[in-house]
Structure 1
């Protein structure tokens, strides 16, 4: 199965206050996000992390990624350092990717787009960065943990969820 997530910000104290994440410490925050990830994602699943993985002061990214299930791909976010992007734990590292999965054309970037490739042909823009605060356009989804109950989300969950202000279900191009 394929999953998407973003804006985990492991070890970044700012998320406790700015994003009002419900934890009293970063240790509690990081442990909960690791637990949620591993409860959701299996060892053979694929995960696309849409940026802002961890604070530069949070430790070794390769060690962190080794604790997380799945084959991991990174879409670089504005807070991802060279230490994060160079980690041996990633299967791939990109700034932008277009995928075809289960009949859907997916546009992946850390940032939400106002318009995107194949938008008129029902492609889907998945992004992070906005921490659940941006009103989405139709077929646009914030996959960051703040918008997804602090865990990765599957493609099936994304395309079948009824979003406020969006069309009820996305029709596959297949």
Structure 2
């Protein structure tokens, strides 16, 4: 295996028809199949087969299990899912089609990892506080589709955020775009 890079994105919403109406400025497609193919093309133009692709929630929405599986298998990379609200059923359980996909690691609600020597806290939802916040850790999230600005070294990595280019980004890019300022005041003990 060659050099492995890590890539980060959220809110693919494969098969989710309503996304075309909710975000016409970033998803100007005539169908979900066109949207899904644009996401796959964007990912595959950046991510290599052995790279790690972190998907920070809302992988797919819909009942066409075969389409969800096709989208998953069409994406390059070793895929890891941070669970989002559309990845679970009404009881909070991972949807069977999502659970059955061959993820590189079991899907989780949040994850602490490192990239470029920087500690990362990954979650679908934005947090005001996270592990390592006052020690340089960066928090990446999705869910808000670009409507929630980054705060204190956090940022939205959803596909609908303008500077994401409708695809995943690496830590080099992310580090250049997160707010550098960490709120002052009494630090939270970690």
Using the size of structure 2 for normalisation, the TM-score is 0.82
Gaps of 5+ in 1: 169-174
In the other structure, the counterpart of 2:86 is 79
3-state DSSP class of the match of 2:147?
A: coil
Larger Rg: 2
Gaps of 5+ in 2: 89-94, 182-190
Q: Does 1:112 align with 2:133?
A: no
Find runs of 4+ consecutive structure 1 residues off by over 4 angstroms.
none
In the other structure, the counterpart of 1:159 is 175
Distance 1:84 1:119, change over 3 A: farther
Q: How many residues are treated as equivalent by the alignment?
A: 165
In the other structure, the counterpart of 2:147 is 133
Distance 1:167 1:71, change over 3 A: same
CA drift at 1:84: 4.1
CA drift at 1:94: 0.8
Q: Does 1:89 align with 2:102?
A: yes
CA distance in 2, matches of 1:74, 1:167: 27
String of CA shifts for 1:89-145, please: whole Å, max 9, x gaps.
211211111012221010000000011111111110000100011011021011111
